Amino acid sequence: MDWNPQTLQFLSETFLHTLSPAPEPRRRAESALSEASDRPNFALAVLRLIAEPSVDDQIRQAAAVNFKNHLRLRWSPSSDETAATIIDSEKAQIKALIVPLMLSASPKIQSQLSEALALISNHDFPKSWPDLLPELVANLKNASQASDYASINGILGTANSIFKKFRFQYKTNDLLLDLKYCLDNFAAPLLEIFLKTASLIDSSANSGVILRPLFESQRLCCRIFYSLNFQELPEFFEDHMKEWMTEFRKYLTASYPALEGSGPDGVAVVDELRAAVCENINLYMEKNEEEFQGYLNDFALAVWTLLGNVSQLSSRDRLAITAIKFLTTVSTSVHHALFAGEGVIPQICQGIVIPNVRLRDDDEELFEFNYIEFIRRDMEGSDLDTRRRIACELLKGIAMHYGDAVRSIVSAQIQILLSSFAANPRENWKDKDCAIYLVVSLATKKAGSSYVSTELVDVQSFFESVIVPELQSPDVNGFPILKAGALKFFTMFRAQISKHVVLRFFQDLVRFLAAESNVVHSYAASCIEKLLLVKDEGGRARYTSEDITPIFPVLMNNLFNSLKFPESEENQYIMKCIMRVLGVADISVDVARICIEGLASLLGEVCKNPKNPVFNHYIFESVAILVKRACERDLSLISIFEASLFPRLEIILANGVTEFFPYTFQLLAQLVELNRPPIPPIYMQIFEILLSPDSWERGANVPALVRLLQAFLQKAPSEISQGDRLTKVLGIFDKLIKTKSTSEQGFYVLNTVIENLQYDVIKPYISHIWAALFSVLQQSRTVKLIKSLLIFMSLFLIKHGASNVVDSMNSVQPGIFIVIMNQFWIPNLKLITGAIELKLTAIASTRLICESPVLLEPAASESWGKMVDSIITLLSRPEQDRVEEDPDMPDITENVGYTATFVRLHNAGKKEEDPLKDIRDPKEFFVASLSRLSALSPGRYPKVINDNVDPANQTALLQLCNTYNLQIV
């Protein structure tokens, strides 16, 4: 794309149309830009447009955004992206132009170009862009001499973006070399501008207008300091620690009335700098404690004092959180003695912890107007960056060394809060919330279990005296935050509260499902759901269907009704509870009818606009578990379930609700398997759709389609044998087997064909099957593929006999069976894992050496002996001794195409059938078969075994013979 007046006009008009409120011109413009972006020098032309002062600012800003996104996609595209890479000559010109253009641009365009520059630097800096840092440093020097803080902050902002990589990447030699280069070039200029700006701040303390860009400059310097010090303490920063720390402490202790008195915006400017300082000193405490200790006392006092003056406004949260984090780091370090002084811990508890744990107006607003975010923070632990949680983390940190003192003070504080509430519940309800929050947040979880403990209170007595009054409150809508806190406590300590106590309050939990507060009915549902997961010793479920039966009808009614509350129409906590209850309860025919209609109705609604994938998953899991538990008990329900589900599943398929295709196919598979032959005609119509090649185009559908195809092969083998259906099925196998990411799914299809169809039916296709497998084997010999091949051959042999396996393979290529056996079967048999797979392959291999004429000939003695050796290895050695870590593990990324979007329904999974139910013990079968064979030719086989079987395996074989009182003669 040449730069000329026509290009300027085209790009100007096109970017203008992308800003149009009318969809049609906007789409046309976006399409034109997409087409133009494939042409060489497109990015360069857009950059020249941005530099053109005659063009309207809005157009240039739209162009800057497009330029940044274009670079993200095409500067260094990943191997799976089809976008063409920007050519080297164009890259060189962009690098030459971007820095001066960024520095002269307006703030909005400057921020976009700064991000674009950082994108380039991620790939090219410093090795392929050695001029960048010297250019930035030279510009910084010129801007500093002119005190041009618009340019200074642009340069510092760019440097900040470039250096961020040192925070997130693992320490490697290459990274440290890059870091050294940056330090050598930028550490001294950074300190110089930092100290100059500090001096200007001191002399301009009374002018808020002048101070704003200066404070922003210092904040950026602090962020660059953080990046350059993150990996390790550089020598330059150690040598100049005093200069840095002196200024850092000043910003924490000095006041700036010209800014702080100018309103919230001014306070925010100062707070952001102070927060950046707190992050820097916290970094030094974590990584450079020894070098930093000389400054620690002063900073601890400064931060402590600062926290006492930080208000509860949410706009000041970041400063409060970073400051408390610093004190938390100090509390867990070897310098924890700072907290040992008289009255320090009570002062921290009363002056820092309690004020920050207390509920604020912002928390109440979040509770009422954004319940999902409130729960995410409060119940799901994503609140580490909230004042409430970080204040509790500070207490936990101090308790590591002063546990008794902390427990004593906090326990006393909890009692004070509860007494305050008791004195005036209506006015002081937040005190009770604060007490409950402290107990819950300071509880410790036992690793790997749901068991939670606390030494602050006796759980049982706290539950009875503090929590039960909330649970038994007749008004489920009164003081909803207290109700939520009580339910959270109940959920948290569910394993410690004895069963007979819990059962007293099951009905109260069910009542709270009718609470108007979204948080309260969500917490009630979550509490019920988590209680049903509690296990006693031995892994037995503590709560069973007998415990649910008395409340089951009203429980299900309230659960479904709670989904009618505003904002809770797609409440995932309610839906998960429905799923869990259906998995435990004793489901009668009448209840099953009501539940399936309710779930089908919900399914019909979410089909219109799927929004919440978690909620949707639990709907399908609930349907699957209901189908599984109710229909298996009473087959008459199948037709009722079909009548409710089919219209909704039909909508999904007809309207192309692709997110739900995998779920739909899994449910259909479940229903097919429940039907008794002959399969109803409606299913055979679905089967015809299943055979269409179009159905298999979307990778996410493949595992679910295979699952459905397996169900049809199992339940309707005679129907599949008719017409050209089997040809189409094997066509699907052929397509799947040829793609690495779906080859395993191809084997699932093939195994089900072999297992369920008569040999006469599949005989015409066997040559084609072997040819396809041999072709794939020539191209790829992964462990996964070879194991799948062994399992298929074993299943074929078990179902249709050894002679059919040998003869059908040799009909494709004479003598190929012995080659495949020697190259693949014998050496890889030891890699088989899984109880059913091990049994299948061991017995098939045993039958091969004992029944197949080709292996019983004297010429095949060596192969016979080596197969015996492999069978003994498989049967006698534990899995970890036979199977190395799967060398195919990296290939897992190739499955991402479907695994990222395919979600297996746990309750609609295929039951693994043992094809050899009549044989109990494969070891006994092996030894007995060998014993019978050797009796027919005494003296022959002991010599073959001695010549070809590993001595350790010979010993193992002797032990097996002794175990089963058999011998090989």
Distance, in Å, from the CA atom of 711 to the CA atom of 679, rounded to the nearest integer, reads 11
**What region does 701 belong to: left with phi over 0, alpha with psi -120 to 50, or beta?**
alpha
Q: How many helices (H) and strands (E) does the chain have?
A: 55, 2
The pLDDT value given to residue 895: 31
Tokens of 410: 């906090």
Q: Among 170-179, 599-608, 640-649, 677-686, name the one with the lowest average pLDDT.
A: 677-686
- What is the pLDDT confidence band of residue 382, given thresholds at 50, 70 and 90? low
> Is residue 374's pLDDT more than 50?
yes
625-663, pLDDT tens digit by residue? Answer: 999 998 888 888 899 999 999 999 999 988 888 899 999
Q: What is the dihedral of CA 309, 313, 319, 322, to 10 degrees?
A: 100
Distance, in Å, from the CA atom of 533 to the CA atom of 542, rounded to the nearest integer, reads 8
> Looking at this protein, which amino acid is placed at residue 837?
E
418-472, pLDDT tens digit by residue? Answer: 999 999 999 999 999 999 999 998 888 766 566 777 888 888 999 999 999 999 9
Domain boundaries, given as residue ranges, for the chain: 1-104, 125-291
**Cβ proximity of 867 and 826 under 8 Å:** yes
Cα–Cα distances (Å) from 164 to 202, 225, 286, 566, in that order, read 29, 10, 19, 43
88-109, pLDDT tens digit by residue? Answer: 999 999 999 999 998 888 889 9
**Cβ proximity of 711 and 669 under 8 Å:** yes
The DSSP output letter for 535 is: B
| Sign of the torsion formed by the C-alpha atoms of 874, 876, 879 and 882 | negative
Q: Is the peptide bond before 678 cis (omega within 30 degrees of 0)?
A: yes
Smallest CA-to-CA distance from 790 within 805, 812, 775 is with: 805
Which residues have CB under 8 Å from 737's CB, separation 6+?
Answer: 743, 746, 747, 750, 772, 773, 776
Distance, in Å, from the CA atom of 173 to the CA atom of 168, rounded to the nearest integer, reads 15
% of the chain with per-residue pLDDT over 90? 67
Distance, in Å, from the CA atom of 563 to the CA atom of 583, rounded to the nearest integer, reads 19
Q: What is the mean pLDDT of the chain?
A: 90
Higher pLDDT, 208 or 690: 690
Higher pLDDT, 186 or 966: 186
Q: Which residues pair with 444 in a beta bridge?
A: 453
Q: What is the dihedral of CA 216, 219, 220, 222, to 10 degrees?
A: 160
> Looking at this protein, which amino acid is placed at residue 348?
I
The pLDDT value given to residue 532: 95
Distance, in Å, from the CA atom of 229 to the CA atom of 702, rounded to the nearest integer, reads 49
Cα–Cα distances (Å) from 296 to 239, 278, 344, in that order, read 17, 12, 16
* Beta strand segments in 454-561, E: none
Compute the average pLDDT of residues 560-581: 95
Give start and end residues of each alpha helix (H) in 631-680. Answer: 632-633, 637-654, 661-674
Distance, in Å, from the CA atom of 618 to the CA atom of 574, rounded to the nearest integer, reads 9
**Cβ proximity of 273 and 218 under 8 Å:** yes
The DSSP output letter for 453 is: E
**Cβ proximity of 470 and 484 under 8 Å:** no
Distance, in Å, from the CA atom of 726 to the CA atom of 323, rounded to the nearest integer, reads 70
> Is residue 308's pLDDT more than 80?
yes
- What is the pLDDT confidence band of residue 381, given thresholds at 50, 70 and 90? low
The pLDDT value given to residue 277: 98
- What is the pLDDT confidence band of residue 588, given thresholds at 50, 70 and 90? confident
Tokens of 195: 């100290």
Phi and psi of 351, rounded to 5°? Answer: -90, -25
The pLDDT value given to residue 884: 65
**Cβ proximity of 444 and 437 under 8 Å:** no
- Tokens 């072999």 -> residue: 754
Tokens of 875: 């049967």
Tokens of 330: 């100090």
Q: Among 114-118, 444-448, 604-608, name the one with the lowest average pLDDT.
A: 444-448
> Looking at this protein, which amino acid is placed at residue 923?
K
Distance, in Å, from the CA atom of 523 to the CA atom of 437, rounded to the nearest integer, reads 15
Cα–Cα distances (Å) from 937 to 931, 968, 969, in that order, read 10, 10, 8
Tokens of 586: 């004793």
> Is residue 303's pLDDT more than 80?
yes
Which residues have CB under 8 Å from 73's CB, separation 6+?
Answer: 81, 83
Compute the average pLDDT of residues 114-141: 92
Tokens of 748: 């699932």
Compute the average pLDDT of residues 591-610: 92
Instruction: Look at the pTM and tell me if it is higher than 0.85.
Output: no
739-793, pLDDT tens digit by residue? Answer: 888 999 999 999 999 999 999 999 999 999 999 999 999 888 888 899 999 999 9
> Is residue 348's pLDDT more than 60?
yes
> Is residue 407's pLDDT more than 70?
yes
Cα–Cα distances (Å) from 278 to 248, 289, 371, 529, 559, in that order, read 9, 15, 31, 41, 47
Contacts for 286-291 with beta carbons within 8 Å, 24 or more apart?
286/329, 287/229, 287/230, 287/232, 287/233, 288/229, 288/233, 289/333, 289/334, 289/335, 291/233, 291/238, 291/241
Which residues have CB under 8 Å from 480's CB, separation 6+?
Answer: 367, 515, 516, 517, 519, 520
| Sign of the torsion formed by the C-alpha atoms of 659, 662, 663 and 664 | positive
> Is residue 901's pLDDT more than 60?
no
The pLDDT value given to residue 695: 84
- Tokens 């090989």 -> residue: 968
Cα–Cα distances (Å) from 497 to 460, 542, 738, in that order, read 6, 12, 56
Maximum Cα–Cα distance across the chain: 109
Distance, in Å, from the CA atom of 626 to the CA atom of 642, rounded to the nearest integer, reads 12
Compute the average pLDDT of residues 911-915: 82
Tokens of 108: 């909005």
Three-point CA angle 719, 720, 724, nearest 5°:
115
Compute the average pLDDT of residues 105-118: 90
- What is the pLDDT confidence band of residue 384, given thresholds at 50, 70 and 90? low
> Is residue 887's pLDDT more than 50?
no
| Sign of the torsion formed by the C-alpha atoms of 502, 508, 510 and 516 | negative
Tokens of 244: 């840095």
Three-class secondary structure assignment of 248-266: HHHHHHCCCHHHHCCCHHH
Angle at which helix 613-626 crosses helix 661-674, to 10 degrees, equals: 0
> Is residue 903's pLDDT more than 70?
yes
> Is residue 805's pLDDT more than 80?
yes
Element (H, E) at 519: helix 518-531
